[in-house]
Amino acid sequence: MRIIDMNGKECPKDLEWGQEKYWQDRLMEIWSNHGVKGIAPTNEIESVHVGNASYPLNEIILKDGKKFYDELNSPSWAYEENQKMLNLL
């Protein structure tokens, strides 16, 4: 899993957002928030793009190209976008 900021730089592993477990937990939380049955595909996370003040959202991208937004630290529309993506599963 690559965890990068919007400038393409790797996030430091000593920061919470630079750790794989943090993003795996966020994906599991999305599954839980939307009542998805089954286990979140945490082993399928290819990369995470961590936002900043200019681009205030975090993207979790799976190996198959599906993109989910961290609902904890992204705009309110992230929930609706994630629901649309989950409806395709």
- The β-bridge partners of 67 are 61
What's the domain count of the chain?
Answer: 1
Interatomic CA distance for residues 63 and 9, integer angstroms: 20
Query: What is the pLDDT at residue 54?
Result: 87
DSSP states of the chain: -EEEETTSPBPPTTSGGG-HHHHHHHHHHHHHHTT--S---GGGEEEEEE--SSS---EEEETTS-EEE-SSSS-TTHHHHHHHHHHT-
Q: What pLDDT does residue 48 have? A: 98
Give pLDDT tens digits for 6-22: 899 999 999 999 999 99
pLDDT reading at 88 higher than 90: no
The pLDDT of residue 49 is 97
pLDDT at position 89 is 67
Q: Residues 21-60: pLDDT tens digits?
A: 999 999 999 999 999 999 999 999 999 999 998 889 999 9
Per the structure, the complete domain to which residue 67 belongs is given by 2-87
pLDDT for 16: 94
